Structure 1
Amino acid sequence: MGSGLPVYSPMLAQLGTMPEPDDCYAHEMKWDGVRALAYIEGGRLRLISRNAKDITAAYPETLGLARAVGGHDLVLDGEIVAFDERGRPSFEALQPRMHQRHEVKIAQLMTTVPVTFLLFDVLHVNAASSIAMPYTARRGLLEQLVERGAHWDVPPYYRDGGVHALAESRRLGFEGVVAKRLTSPYRPGRRSPDWVKVKNFRTQEVVVGGWKPGEGRRRGMIGSLLVGVYDQGRFRYAGSVGTGFTEATLRDLAERLASLERDTPPYDEEPPREEARGAHWVEPVLVGEVQYAEWTGEHRLRHPSWRGIREDKAPEEVTREE
């Protein structure tokens, strides 16, 4: 990562309800993007994803951040976000940026789908780690260190109550909020109750285990994806997803899944016969995200809708979010 800066893993939040008492927590908007740690050293920036991949090349408009930190060497935490036409963070809008590494195409996408790196924590400053500092001190330090730019920002957080913050996130059409205990240190690589994500709608990461051919307008394309999640090391079938796709998404998925074909279902338990009939099975390596209504008693997703591929997550990390 460079000669002076240690390697960190991002701290993770638990899914839950709004923690109390209110005055013990700050509340940040939950940005619907891709998590990234920024390593700034010697005036150069490297972006590292949650699963430790170098994603710097995908987001050239963020490179100027390295010149906006007063010459310090830093490790910063944040989310890379694309906004829709209404100004809301959009995971769907970000999809073409996440997968692209071709310089010319990236240059075109920077115009049509610009991104913003929203920073919310600082882990290291020059020769010193800051992870033991309380949240409020780290946020104050972050705001002092980073000069805002066209493609990076330190968004405000709420100190006037979680109910108000959640209502504001709903009004703005955001995914929800993250409540962070004011006194909490940064715990690299850990999912801690000091950070609680509270969602306005339910999302679930899934691993694709197969697909079924489409009919009617989708004849010759993928009709639905058969997905699963890991449960105590076992890969369990979680249902089929047939909505939320654009034609471009379906073409991209078909291309990705073609090389992953296998003869048998990858699940540790057989899917229902009627849902497995006519299915094409694939190695369970492609991770995506769905929005859904609820989990059924049979451990199936009810009314899931595809949101996009998650290249920042490993399949074995995908467990059911309660």
Structure 2
Amino acid sequence: MHALSSIIARLLSTALLCFFLGRPSIATAATPPAAPPLMLANIYHPGITLADYWISEKLDGVRGYWDGEKLLTRGGQRINAPHWFTANWPKTALDGELWAGRQQFSRAVSTVRRETPDDAAWRRMRFMVFDLPAHPGTFEQRLPALQDMLAKLAVPWVQPVEQFKLGDHATLQRLLQQTVKQGGEGLMLHLGASLYRTQRSDDLLKVKTHEDAEAAVIGHLPGNGKYQGMLGALLVETPDGRRFKLGSGLSDLQRRRPPPLGSVVTYRFRGLNDSGIPRFASFMRVYEP
């Protein structure tokens, strides 16, 4: 019976991880909502011509897609924002981030995921728009159109993300370190000549001091010493079957109430070791699609 329970738990966690990450699964409980067509980013790498890219801060919030009528998450779930928040928004698609400020990711997620919107919480949110998916032009052409559209909308909580250019990669790295030191997550690079293509490419690049990825929780390992009686580490599994322990980065509250088996978590790391296991892996948060 114990072996059967373990097999079922593993199948459920694998199915859940595949559901969240948009990959085929051997079993799903329900048909997921259709995800909006989004432009996705690759990881920054040497060799690009920096002068061709516009630069902005990577905002640590919830990706939001306005389809002209309603707000959706990147996974396609409807966001129940108050009516006043989206009143008079344009009848065209907007791609952006629902943001509560630096280091306020948990607040943003808590606000966005409520079935009944918390009016006071939404008063602290902003929709930071970085693109116009339906515009046929290049990013260089979409950017002024976006800025003009939001200027005419004149809503304080809907703002264009600031875009600028830098001359060299050394300056980019200094800005990255400064942004992270001040509580930011990183930077984004957007190719000026790119069309809005709904795929992952070098048209959009994220620049961070670390990499991050998702894994399913398949075990709770007991703690020792000051963590006696609490969680010591999460045992997690990546979509390709790699397993490893995730112990650092967890708060005392998370050790007392760990993410449940089958849930999906985001972790940060710095490259892979020879066996393919993430180096210096650290828990970040429970994954939000």
* 1:135 partnered with 2:145: no
Structure 1, unpaired ranges of 5+: 1-5, 125-129, 258-281, 313-322
Instruction: Please give the TM-score of this superposition, normalised by the length of structure 1.
Output: 0.68
Distance in 2 between residues matched to 1:34 and 1:176, nearest whole Å? 15
* Aligned-partner residue type, residue 158 of structure 1: F
In structure 1, the partner of 2:41 is 13
* Aligned-partner residue type, residue 195 of structure 1: L
> Which of 164, 169, 190 is the matching residue for 1:180?
190
CA contact (8 A) 1:206 1:287 kept: yes
Aligned 1:229-244 pairs, distance under 5 A: 229-231=238-240, 235-237=241-243, 239-244=244-249
* 1:223 partnered with 2:232: yes
> SS of 2:60's equivalent?
coil
Distance in 2 between residues matched to 1:38 and 1:250, nearest whole Å? 37
* 1:157 partnered with 2:163: yes
Distance in 1 between residues matched to 2:280 and 2:35, nearest whole Å? 40
Distance in 2 between residues matched to 1:25 and 1:142, nearest whole Å? 17
Q: Structure 1 151/213 Cα, relative in aligned 2: closer, same or farther at 3 Å?
A: farther
Structure 1 vs Structure 2: percent identity of aligned residues?
24
Q: Structure 1 296/93 Cα, relative in aligned 2: closer, same or farther at 3 Å?
A: farther
In structure 2, the partner of 1:31 is 59
> SS of 2:248's equivalent?
coil
* Aligned-partner residue type, residue 304 of structure 1: A
In structure 2, the partner of 1:304 is 281
Q: Structure 1 162/38 Cα, relative in aligned 2: closer, same or farther at 3 Å?
A: farther
Instruction: Please give the TM-score of this superposition, normalised by the length of structure 2.
Output: 0.75
Instruction: Report the CA distance between 1:162 and its aligned residue.
Output: 5.5
> Which of 61, 64, 85 is the matching residue for 1:64?
85
Distance in 1 between residues matched to 2:99 and 2:256, nearest whole Å? 24
Which contiguous aligned blocks of 4+ residues in structure 1 show a shift greater than 4 angstroms?
Answer: 107-111
In structure 2, the partner of 1:96 is 110
Q: Structure 1 116/32 Cα, relative in aligned 2: closer, same or farther at 3 Å?
A: same
What whole-Å deviation, never above 9, does each CA across 1:91-136 have from its counterpart, x for those lacking one?
3554533554355xx346457xx33221100123xxxxx2x31011
Distance in 2 between residues matched to 1:184 and 1:156, nearest whole Å? 18
> Which of 39, 51, 54 is the matching residue for 2:75?
51
Instruction: Report the CA distance between 1:7 and its aligned residue.
Output: 8.0
> Which of 91, 106, 120 is the matching residue for 1:73?
91
Distance in 2 between residues matched to 1:242 and 1:102, nearest whole Å? 34
Structure 2, unpaired ranges of 5+: 1-33
Distance in 2 between residues matched to 1:250 and 1:47, nearest whole Å? 34
Distance in 2 between residues matched to 1:18 and 1:225, nearest whole Å? 34
Distance in 2 between residues matched to 1:102 and 1:178, nearest whole Å? 32
> SS of 2:111's equivalent?
helix
Distance in 1 between residues matched to 2:125 and 2:58, nearest whole Å? 16
Distance in 2 between residues matched to 1:39 and 1:25, nearest whole Å? 26
Distance in 1 between residues matched to 2:255 and 2:114, nearest whole Å? 17
In structure 1, the partner of 2:269 is 292
Instruction: Report the CA distance between 1:146 and its aligned residue.
Output: 1.1
* Aligned-partner residue type, residue 128 of structure 2: L
What whole-Å deviation, never above 9, does each CA across 1:6-60 have from its counterpart, x for those lacking one?
984111011131553222221222222221201233xxxx221111111x22x54
* Aligned-partner residue type, residue 168 of structure 1: L
What whole-Å deviation, never above 9, does each CA across 1:147-175 have from its counterpart, x for those lacking one?
45443311211123363344323212222
CA contact (8 A) 1:158 1:165 kept: no
CA contact (8 A) 1:203 1:292 kept: yes
Q: Which has the higher strand share?
A: 1
Distance in 1 between residues matched to 2:216 and 2:145, nearest whole Å? 38
